[in-house]
Amino acid sequence: MVGITLTAEQIRSAPLDVRRWIERELAASLGLHPGEANANQPKAEHLVACSLEEAAAVLSLIQGMFPVVNVFFELGRQGASIGSEGLEAFRLADILRHTRLQNMSQVIGFLNIINQAVRRVRNDPAATLFALDSRGDCIVAAQTQQSASRLWRQVIGEPETSGEVEGSGAKAEPSAPGAVASDPQGKGATNAEGA
């Protein structure tokens, strides 16, 4: 057996396939098996898309559970678009890191709590907000991602934008829980969570 040490920068700069392989190897060595959770989840074709109003109703049901709210707003970040199917994929490892939860079971458990809230809002016991794939991705409808992103911007009081950074043509990624938002009156930066 040969051991190697990689820095975080080396891992970040590695090709996507290598990063996913490292992630799978680490998950397996730590006893985390995201693919096993997938066996109990419906396939992507059964996903529901949440409108802004439904996302707000879901938020009202989970608002007393701060870690669950954090996971919910992670679904408003820019994910990886999956073809032309109107789906967004989020790496569970990224959600775990961004929310600072202790383990993957918490992330999946909180996603299930959010899913229960969606079922309650839609009055549909078969509704599914997300699916997990064998690579450790959480997949949601693109409309759900957009609704969660718009709702986050409303919560922090950020004005609606067209999604482009002015004058650059580049897409702007919405602020996310824990992000630092600048004060529009020029009084310095504020923590967006405190808004």
pLDDT tens, residue by residue, 81-139? 887 678 999 999 999 999 999 999 999 999 999 999 999 999 988 889 999 988 889 99
For residues 16-27, give the mean pLDDT. 70
The answer on pLDDT for 185 being more than 70 is no
Q: How far is CA 12 from CA 22, 25, 100, in A?
A: 11, 16, 19
Residues 6+ apart with CB under 8 A from 41: 128, 130, 131, 132
Specify the length of the chain in residues.
Answer: 195
The predicted pLDDT at position 78 comes to 92
Distance CA 195, CA 192 (A): 5
What pTM did the predictor assign?
0.61
Q: List the chain domain ranges.
A: 34-160
Question: pLDDT tier at 1 (50, 70, 90 boundaries)?
Answer: low
Q: Is 174 left (phi over 0), alpha (psi -120 to 50) or beta?
A: beta
